[in-house]
Structures are given as structure tokens and as C-alpha cells.
Amino acid sequence: MSPLAPRAALGRARTWWQESVIPRLKRVTWSRRRTVIAGAAGLAIVVGGASVAWAGGADPSSYRTATASTGAIEEELDLIGTIESANRRDASFGVGGEVSAVNVSLGDTVEAGDVLATLDTIDLEEAVEAAEERVASAEEALASDLEAQSSATEEDDEDTSSETTTSTASAPSGAGDSSADPALEAAVRDVQNAQEQLLALIEAASESLTAAEATVTDATELCQPFLDAELEGADDSEAAPAADAVSGEESEFAAADDEAEESDEESEPLTLEAVQELLVTCQEAITGVADAQAVTQAAQEAVAAAMTELDAAITALQDAVAASTTTSSTPSDTSSGSSTTSTSTASASGGGTSSVPSAADIVADYAAIEVAEANVLIAEQSLAAAELTAPIDGTVALVAFEVGDTVDANSTTAVITILGDDGYLIETTVTLAEVQKVAVGQVAEVTISSSGEHYPATVSAVGFVNVATDSATPSYAITISIDAGDAVLLNGAAAQVAVSVATADGVVVIPISALHRSDAGDTVSVLDGGELVTVPVEVGAIGTDLVEIISGIAVGDEVVIADLTAATEEATAETTGLADLGGTTEETGAEFGGTPPDFGGGPPAGAGGR
């Protein structure tokens, strides 16, 4: 035999052992599975809420039990969140510019109205002056057009002779003179009266338009609660948008609702009577809008009529000027200057009409003044916004710019943050099952994670609208208000919250381990006269160790905490996956089956039995 044969045979033996024997050894059941029979009959079955027990008696020693009793219980809901100031404001400049002064620093205490910082105001002051100059220019343009209408002449008309121009220009200036032409004098007064009437009506129309816009704003605010209202007891399929209950002008308020910023705190569902009251208030507000719009329309129609009257008065004055010029010409002038007179008359009564400002020009001049005055107001507000003031009393928590920085208007980064003095809160979310237990006013305890300090708290708001982006796992926002006293808490600090959602005293309680919960309902196993009975129960508050039983269990009932036989079952080696070794063999030390390898003329030396 080759000297290498024993070594090769030993290698084949090791391979057979590792591939065939060891995998089967891992499945050996070292202790026999025992079938536990608790009685002579079958399992207890709950059918239609009734309990059917074993026909034979259960062995009490096979169960760990407890006795239902009366006691006190508190159910707590454990949540996590971060600390926030109840009133935090980020103050930023309302206008852009260069920071010229910063008056506060981190940790300073401020009061509402204190100046926190200022911008360089040179450019802003110049903007105010320029806006005021534009107002003066617009007022001069109006005065010039009014004067041109009442004179009804065209002094710079190149087609009009100097003699005729002098004659027509002097006509209106002598309107107050007793020697003036009475017809011309009356025509000038008609133009001036029509001008005054038009200006008064323009002002009234402007005021009515402003009032109508304010009415729309007020109506939007009054209708918003109705548009946001949720009817108590209505599900999503039944709750049509509240805006569907309004029509006509009301639709614009529904559109405004879509653009409105959503509130952080959701309103509670309302009764039908409360929603109807909100609807009545909204409809009254909309009626007010319609009335204001009718007034505005009437005022605008009055302006249009006054414009027509003014244009007619201007035309009449031009005709009067033309007639006065014709009658004042001498016979000698007529023979030698007929061409000149004809040209002047045509200018006054016909061709010159286009150069005299019309009533539309007066309306445009008035509008230009209003725009210029509005620009002055904007410039003055911008100048005032160069001073950044504290919006609330509190403590400076952040200064995000310094002198020399250029900031944008209403920046979200170049801010001074003020933390108010009115406490702290935690905003977090709860599940659908949990939100049904949470209510405003419930007491809670907040524990700061970093320090372990505890503070009393209260549930101050509960949302009823799903805020989760995943509809499969709905969640609802709640707000916890913290009573920190004089303590200063850090914004952003992590905290645990324990909300007391239910308390009960003198109620039936059992150990929580005796309660079995499933989609089919809650049950408790009870030993009744030696029989094991499964009893459906109604659960109340659930504490850490105990659970309240509202119905199904009475004081003194013996409830099963654990099935000791079930524990013995699980103590077998089944959980390790050791079972059914060696085909159907049930003896310890199983047949391994298979054919051992050929060791090449017998096992290697030293491999024989002892």
C-alpha cells in the first residue's frame, strides 16, 4: 500500500463526517417533545361572545393566576419632542439697506418697541423728497389743466394771428369784469362749476372704492371661520367643503381661503347650529360687500356723467369765445383781416378743441396725484422701517448681522430673534389611536433629556387633521405648554413628555399580562370552578402594570397570567430547530443514513473502536 493511502483515507473520513454527520447532529432533539393534555375533552372556543370551557377540569397548578380587585390606575402616554419658546419672533428690516447701528447683543432683555438696529437713511430720505416733488408736480399739472379749460384758448397756436390771440386770451380774464361779455362770463362760470362738481365726485368715488376694498377684507376674515369649519360627526366622505354652501360673490372668499396660510392649530369640529351661525355671519358680510360695490358703481357713474357735463361746458365756452371774438371785430378789421379772424374762430370752435384739456385729463391728473401721494407714504414707511424695533418683550437669542452688512427687505436670515417671557411649549404628534385619548387640559410631566429636570405641563391644543404625509400612518399634532416658572430653557432641547390621559379609582383592575388583545377584541382567560374560560372584556385605562376592566370581569375572579404548560412546551428544543432527525426515527441517537465513504481497504490506523 502506498504510504499516502492512510492519509487520503483519513481526509475522506473527515469530509464524510462534516458533510453528512454534523448537519444531522444539529437537528437532534435532545429532549422528547411532550404532548400536554389538560383534560379529557377539547379546547375552549368562544362563539358569538359566549365562552365554552373544557369538558373536563383544568389543573390549577398548570397556571399562574391573579385575582381581580379594585384599585386606582393611571394611564400615561409617552411622547418625545423639542422645547420651543411659546412666543418667539424673528425681527427683520422691512426695507433693504446697509446696517449703520446694532443696539443689542445676545442675552439682552428688551421691551416691545425698543430700537434694536438701524440702517443708513440717506437714500431713504432722498426717496421721500423725490416722492414729495412728484406730488407737487402732479398738483401743478391739475391746476394748469383746470386753468386751461376755463380760459379755452390756445396761446401757442402757430396758426392764430397775434391780434386774434390777444383778443381771445383777454376774454376769460375779464369774466369778473362788469364790462365783459355776459355770455362769455356765464360760460366760464359753467366750466368752473362743472370742474368743482367733477373733482368732488372723483373724491367721493375714490373714498367709496377704498371703503369697498376694506369691506371685502373684513368679509374675508368673517367668512374664514365658516370656510374652515368641520361639522361634528361628519366623516371625510360626507363632509363637503363648507364653501359649497355659498354662491355668487361668496366664491371669491372660497378662493381666498385656498390662498390663506394654514393655521398651526386646527379647530375642533362644530355642531350644526354653530356652523349655521357662521354661515349667517358670512352671508351678512357678503351682503355688505355687495352694498359697498353698488355704492362704488353709482359713484363711478356719477363721475362719468360729470365728465360729460364738463366737456359740454368746455365746448360751450369755446363757442362763446368764438362768438365774442367775431362780434368785437371792427368793419375795417373785417375787410383787411378776415383771414385772421376766420383762422382764430376755427381754432377756438373747431381745431382748437383737441388742445384744450378734457374732463378725462382732469380725472387722470387726480389719479396721478393719488399715486404720487401713495408713493410718499411708501417712502415714509420705508424710512421708518430703517429702525428695527422689538416686536415683543423678551430676551435676545440671536443677532444675525453686524454694522456694515447689507441686508434685504424682510430677510429670513438677517434677523434678531427675541424669545418671549410667556413660557415654553413642545409641539409633537400622536397616532390615530392615541389622539382619541388626548384632550386639552390634561396634565403632563416634561423631562429635559440633557439635565433630567422635571417640569409640570398641560395639553394646550389638539389637532384633528391628519398631518402625516403618509396616509397609511395618520398622525395628529398636539401642543404641550410647559410651566417652567423662572427657569430658562434652551430652545431645541430634547425632552420626554408623559401625558396622563386617563385616571380611575375604585375600579376593577387586573395585571396587564392577563389581557389578550387582538383585532377580534380583548379577552381574559379565567379559571372558573376548575374550568378555563375565555371571557371578552371591555378595557378602560391601561397603566404600566395594571389595566382597568369596565365589563366582563368582576372583583374576585381568578384570571390567568401565564400557562405553565405552554412554558414547558416552549422549553423543549424545538425553538433551536432540532427536530425529526434521521428520517422517521424517534430514538435518541438517530440513524444517520447514507453510505460512509470508502476508506480504501478499511479505516485508517487508529480509527478503530476502543
Which of the four pLDDT bands, split at 50, 70 and 90, describes residue 357? very high
Of all residues in the chain, the percent with pLDDT exceeding 70 is 67
Residue type, 490: L
The pLDDT value recorded for residue 465 is 81
- Euclidean distance between CA atoms 88 and 397, whole angstroms: 10
Q: Is the pLDDT of residue 265 over 50?
A: no
Q: Is the pLDDT of residue 372 over 70?
A: yes
* Closest CA relative to residue 162, chosen from 170, 152, 173: 170
Q: Is the pLDDT of residue 103 over 80?
A: yes
The answer to whether the CB of 222 falls within 8 A of the CB of 271 is no
The answer to whether the CB of 390 falls within 8 A of the CB of 418 is yes
- What interhelical angle do 272-327 and 331-349 show, nearest 10? 160
109 SS3 class: strand
Q: Minimum mean pLDDT among 9-23, 25-39, 528-542: which range?
A: 25-39
Q: How many residues does the chain have?
A: 610
- Euclidean distance between CA atoms 294 and 301, whole angstroms: 11
Neighbours of 169 (CB within 10 A): 16
* Closest CA relative to residue 263, chosen from 217, 239, 232, 228: 228
The pLDDT value recorded for residue 154 is 43
Of all residues in the chain, the percent with pLDDT exceeding 90 is 44
The 10s digit of each residue's pLDDT in 374-421 is 999 989 988 988 999 999 998 999 999 999 999 999 999 999 999 888
Q: Is the pLDDT of residue 527 over 70?
A: yes
441 versus 343: the higher-pLDDT residue is: 441
Residue 401 main-chain phi, psi, to 5 deg: -155, 170
238 versus 404: the higher-pLDDT residue is: 404
The pLDDT value recorded for residue 140 is 95
Mean per-residue pLDDT over the chain, rounded = 76
The 10s digit of each residue's pLDDT in 145-191 is 999 988 855 444 444 333 333 333 334 444 444 346 888 889 999 99
The pLDDT value recorded for residue 22 is 63
- Euclidean distance between CA atoms 146 and 183, whole angstroms: 20
Task: Map grid coordinates 390549577 to a residue.
Answer: 60
The pLDDT value recorded for residue 548 is 93
Angstrom distances, CA of residue 470 to CA of 65, 157, 501, 573? 43, 78, 26, 43
| Strand pairing category for 546-551 and 494-511 | antiparallel
The 10s digit of each residue's pLDDT in 286-321 is 999 999 999 999 999 999 999 999 999 999 998 888
The pLDDT value recorded for residue 23 is 62
Neighbours of 417 (CB within 10 A): 19
Q: Is the pLDDT of residue 373 over 90?
A: yes
Give Cβ neighbours of residue 38 (< 8 Å, ≥ 6 apart).
54, 56, 58, 59, 62, 532, 565
- Euclidean distance between CA atoms 9 and 604, whole angstroms: 6
The pLDDT value recorded for residue 55 is 36
Give all domains of the chain, ordered by start, each with its CATH number. 87-119+388-421 (2.40.50.100), 121-149+184-230+274-323+358-385 (no CATH), 423-563 (2.40.420.20)
Q: Is the pLDDT of residue 476 over 80?
A: yes
The pLDDT value recorded for residue 98 is 95
What is the pTM (predicted TM-score) of this model? 0.50
- Euclidean distance between CA atoms 472 and 353, whole angstroms: 76
The 10s digit of each residue's pLDDT in 557-570 is 999 988 776 644 44
Neighbours of 67 (CB within 10 A): 11
